[in-house]
A and B are shown apart, each in its own frame.
Chain A
């Protein structure tokens, strides 16, 4: 065994042989799982948080909705549909009017669509993903074999190809309109909330080829509260088709992030981790062990590196165990249709689990660095815990943008790695959040290494 390996083993022995520390790390895993049980069990009496579609059973993928109005015919083989958008009434820049082909009428079915939007021109989207952009008001969708192709044009003669999509078998081909909800930030009772109001859109399609006669309609127009039932969802007067709709085919910023909710408990686990890692460092100073450690290994940077490896590694494993245990235990308490949101086979769930483990490891390294800098238990525990918790402690009552910045600038940004989709309250992307925490850990470690090698002990 080489020198560094021996050093790692001695640091591991120091951690392992204090029963209280190992018990606390075990408790961190247990507490995380208990909170997971409480949050999921406490959340299930509420109605479906997802928006849009409304069909029983099936559900669009997490963070998405599948609403709007769709007038269609069945398509078994090859076919095409052409139209011109004569007019579009909408308040939202991402309102949509255009052509869609989809595998079925259930929410979340595979689809491809070309559409006109008031604020973002002509777009081709498929399966909730933006594929391409174009211009003009003429739209065309064709299927040859299993290849669906989308086109747009300014004059109906010169077509520009936007993209292709594969969809075979029986499909629904037709006209659709959709619009995201209108959102407004409202301050009331000492806090800010985002209000989401259903918005409506109406579009007139002319030059529809083939003529939409005898087509079926999916979706509809909920009447505004206190008003008589609104327009019909779909009318055809022989020359012009008019579609009216509400709800979007696209991201749902208000969907519940079930995975993130289930993994919230890691906060409690992290508090235990901070206690153990800080004590691991400061108790050496208090008991005079630090002198022995640095006499045995005069190269102090190596001691710090070994410690980073041991503490980071052990807490990484503990974090992974806590996250997996939380998801497995919470599963039976979740409605059947939502169990997939906790499946470890889903890449985004796996990212959240891996992220939670990395979060635990990075927090351990950060608190070890802070403890090495301060050599004082009270100061180190407080600084680390406040840094992790401050956005949640202070943010209540602050304007939303201010509390978002508080998250972005503190180590608490690391918690963003637990999100499985972009919600209205996400402060930043998952990996960007983890990067902020990593930066804190690396800078802390660099400062600790500098001070450790320059001062007495």
Chain B
């Protein structure tokens, strides 16, 4: 397993795209978060307190876009090997195929955790800096975001976990379908289509059901720090739903990988 890990680490480390994608996750997330946070203010709230603005969630808006690059990184980890044909030497060198997949999962997790931590810390800083400008001040009932606060810490660290699970989900799907375009299309469809459909379903029951069981909306409920009773699903339960998707995708990937020719 150590050799497998070392091999996977070397493969990913020496690709120029890896560094670019991880830097992209940080930059894209922080820029989108900053734009969203900067564009919102309390002028349209009935009263500042009645706005019930979830400032943690607002400062983490960019994750919705940043996760796209995590998906690409994870998909390329597998699909690029099939595209270039290096999968053959990889599987020849390490015949235990589950070990190959596990090593890939560990390396992707480590990289995403590192990039994710940097991202959420920067988002926290952006939130602290920009929120008071929009009127979200302690005087109006919005204390500055603090990592020492339990729910805020859950939102920010939970977002790192969210990114990891998204990466693992994409890794599993890519292992199952082997092709970059197919894997990316499938994962993006899974993540982004259900929230869009939910908007057009006017029946509130169905809307809630979709939001509860769709991977992105369920997983992102970990970012909620206010109005938890209005969420379709609790923070940890929501992350659990996403974990189920990721686990199922990895299992499917492992099954397909061990059963087919290569």
Which residues of A are in contact with B by a Cβ distance under 8 Å? 35, 38-39, 42-46, 49, 185-190, 192, 256, 260-261, 264-265, 267-268, 271-272, 274-275, 278-279, 282, 286, 377-378, 381-382, 385-386, 389-390, 392-394, 396-399, 402
Contacts and interface: CB of A to CB of B under 8 A. Distances in A.
Contacts of B179: 279
Interface in B58-75: 58, 61, 64-65, 68-69, 72, 75
A155 B243 CA distance: 76
B185 A39 contact: no
B40 A397 contact: yes
Interface residues of B, number: 47
B173 interface: no
Contact of B201 (A43, A267, A275, A286): A43
A382 B68 contact: yes
A364 to B, nearest CB: 14
Contacts of B199: 392
A42 B51 contact: no
Q: Is the interface of A mostly helix, strand, loop or mixed?
A: helix
Given A39-B197, A187-B45, A381 B180 contact: yes
Nearest to A277: B181
B141 to A, nearest CB: 14
Given A279-B179, A396-B64, 11 more contacts: A42-B203, A43-B200, A45-B205, A185-B44, A187-B40, A187-B42, A267-B197, A271-B188, A377-B184, A382-B184, A389-B196
B47 to A, nearest CB: 11
A331 B115 CA distance: 49
26 contacts: A35-B197, A39-B200, A43-B200, A45-B205, A46-B202, A187-B44, A187-B51, A188-B52, A190-B58, A256-B202, A260-B200, A268-B193, A271-B188, A275-B181, A278-B181, A279-B182, A378-B76, A382-B184, A386-B68, A389-B196, A394-B64, A397-B36, A397-B57, A398-B39, A398-B40, A399-B40
A311 to B, nearest CB: 14
Nearest to A268: B193
B123 interface: no
A23 B167 CA distance: 28
Contacts of B205: 45
Nearest to A35: B197
B227 interface: yes
